[in-house]
Amino acid sequence: MSFVLYNCPDSSAQSFTASGTQRILIILDASGSMAAKWQSKSRFELAKEILISITDSIYKSNKNIEFGLRVLGYQSHKDLNNCMDSKLVVPFGKNNTDRLKSSLDNITPKGQTPLAYSLLQAAKDFPKDSISGHSIIIITDGIETCKGNACEASMKLSEKRISVKPYIVGLGISDSMINFYKCVGQVVNANDEQDLNGVIRAAIKQALNKTTLQLNLLNANGQPLETNIAFTLYDHVTHKVRYQFIHRLDLLNNPDTLLIDPKGIYDLTVHSIPEVRKENIELSPGRHNIIAIDAPQGTLYLEYEGVKSSSLNSVQCIIRKAGSPQILYVQDIGTSTQYLIGKYDLEILTLPRLYIYDLTIAQSSVTTQKVSVPGYLQINTTEPAVVSVFNLQNEKMNLVHDFHSVTGNQNLNLQPGNYKVIYRPDKGRKASKTKSISIKIEPTKTSVVNIR
């Protein structure tokens, strides 16, 4: 992976890798309907046998996985309407297939389906471990029967970064049930016994797969060819920094692939000028996720006319979006900077200041703004004097610089043009002693005013 990583306040997020412990909590429906026969056996018996077989085979090939088992709807008959009938029967652990089997052998489906309650309780089942993968797989044949809000419960798990949104394995559930579960997580429905084995295996496999992210920065033509921009992923709830990268394209112009913790909800800020944002990003766990965001850029180059900027004192330019008072950036003359395409207002901090309005930055183009080379005003005094420099614009005298009290020599860089130096001897402090001298400033040349 070739992205550049910054040091980040949440170091645990930066160190997330798929090689850490992967924990999968199975939430198994043992409500009364699961006792119904489904082809050769009851739905519960089929789910139980497949779970035991799959976990046993996975443990043999993967040493970094831990399964836990929470069962709902088996402790009380449904007539008792026990909406807290949910229990962690097997805590997370490695190679616990025998314990899973013995626990499942002692369970008889008979109760309600408190799914939302079970999801909220599942938050307590996972250890506090920010660098491990946490997933939930729900195996059920029906929907919530206790008036809980399973969608809201799933969102709370995600917001608290406890687990990714659950996978729901349906046992012959209807289309309306599938639609109901879409807000809870990813839904896969098994239509018969043969389907069920493959569906559960696929859900577990996806939970174990790496979750990757590709950020496409789109130019004005909708092509993902913008790059070399820093971007930050924040936790949507806490607003803490989770990841920071500098975008890169490989030799084939493909964005780098990032390994990201799929738990939680992210907000993205692309640190272009100005910045662009995308909020409420939920990654699909176990998959390659592509996020596209518009970030078309052009370049602004500021330069002095006819000379190299390095031979002159640095002058800065304030950049704003056209018509906006907000400062976006401060750029030095003699430098190039990329901006999102659009119109900008420039305030160049020469004396006097120069204002350029509605300057267009176009896609992949360099817009050059030239600035006149300054000339120099040198003021020499033999006695202290109060000195101000003005220029005349639209019949109005504009103050360019106020020296206040000048003694000896003072120098000032000025843009080419006509100016008036107004001065009064400091001694005596009489306004009637005020005098003025008109001068012309030319590029690179020095105009001298002697005050006696």
What is the chain's pLDDT, residue by residue, as a tens digit (452 residues)? 233 333 333 333 444 444 578 999 999 999 999 999 988 899 999 999 999 999 999 998 888 899 999 999 999 999 999 999 999 999 999 999 999 999 999 999 999 999 999 999 999 999 887 778 899 999 999 889 999 999 999 988 888 888 888 999 999 999 999 998 999 998 999 988 888 989 998 988 888 888 999 999 999 999 999 999 999 999 999 999 999 999 999 999 999 999 999 988 999 999 999 999 999 999 988 899 999 999 999 999 999 998 765 567 789 999 999 999 999 999 999 999 999 999 999 999 999 999 999 999 999 999 999 999 999 999 999 889 999 999 988 888 999 999 888 888 999 999 999 999 999 988 777 888 899 999 999 999 999 999 88
43-61 and 97-105 helices cross at what angle (nearest 10)? 170
Comparing CA positions, the residue from 374, 365, 397 lying closest to residue 301 is 365
Tokens of 413: 């860089």
How does strand 342-348 pair with strand 316-321?
antiparallel
User: In 3-state terms, what secondary structure has residue 14?
Assistant: helix
Query: For position 378, what pLDDT does the model report?
Result: 95
Whole-number Å distance between alpha carbons of 168 and 279: 26
Query: For position 14, what pLDDT does the model report?
Result: 41
Whole-number Å distance between alpha carbons of 84 and 10: 36
Tokens of 296: 């078309």
Domains in the chain: boundaries: 19-208, 212-294, 297-371, 375-451
Query: For position 6, what pLDDT does the model report?
Result: 31
Classify burial at 68, counting beta carbons within 10 Å of its beta carbon; exposed 0-12, middle 13-18, buried 19 or more: buried
> How far is CA 15 from each of CA 8, 193, 317, 379, rounded to the nearest angstrom?
10, 40, 40, 62
Whole-number Å distance between alpha carbons of 35 and 38: 9
Instruction: Give yes or no on whether 19-208 and 375-451 have one common fold.
Output: no
Counting Cα atoms < 13 Å in the Cβ hemisphere of 95 gives 3
Q: Which residues contact 351 (CB under 8 A, 6 or more apart)?
A: 374, 400, 401, 412, 413, 414, 415
Query: For position 8, what pLDDT does the model report?
Result: 34
User: In 3-state terms, what secondary structure has residue 147?
Assistant: coil
CATH of 297-371, one of 2.60.40, 2.40.128, 3.40.50, 1.25.40: 2.60.40
- Tell me if 122 sits within 8 A of 68, measured CB to CB: no
Query: For position 194, what pLDDT does the model report?
Result: 84
Query: For position 286, what pLDDT does the model report?
Result: 87
Whole-number Å distance between alpha carbons of 362 and 425: 53
Comparing CA positions, the residue from 296, 299, 294 lying closest to residue 338 is 299
Question: What letter represents residue 109's amino acid?
Answer: P
Question: What letter represents residue 143's amino acid?
Answer: I
**What is the fold, at CATH topology level, of the domain defined by 375-451?**
Immunoglobulin-like (2.60.40)
> pTM of the entire structure?
0.81
Query: For position 310, what pLDDT does the model report?
Result: 59
Q: Quote the DSSP letter at residue 34.
A: G
Whole-number Å distance between alpha carbons of 354 and 301: 16
Q: Quote the DSSP letter at residue 165.
A: P
How does strand 241-246 pair with strand 4-5?
antiparallel
Considering the segment(s) 212-294 as one domain, its CATH architecture is Sandwich (2.60)
CATH superfamily of 19-208: von Willebrand factor, type A domain (3.40.50.410)
Q: Which residues of 376-399 are buried (b: 16+ CB within 10 A; e: fewer)?
A: bbebebeeebbbbbbbeeeeeeee
- Tell me if 203 sits within 8 A of 137, measured CB to CB: yes
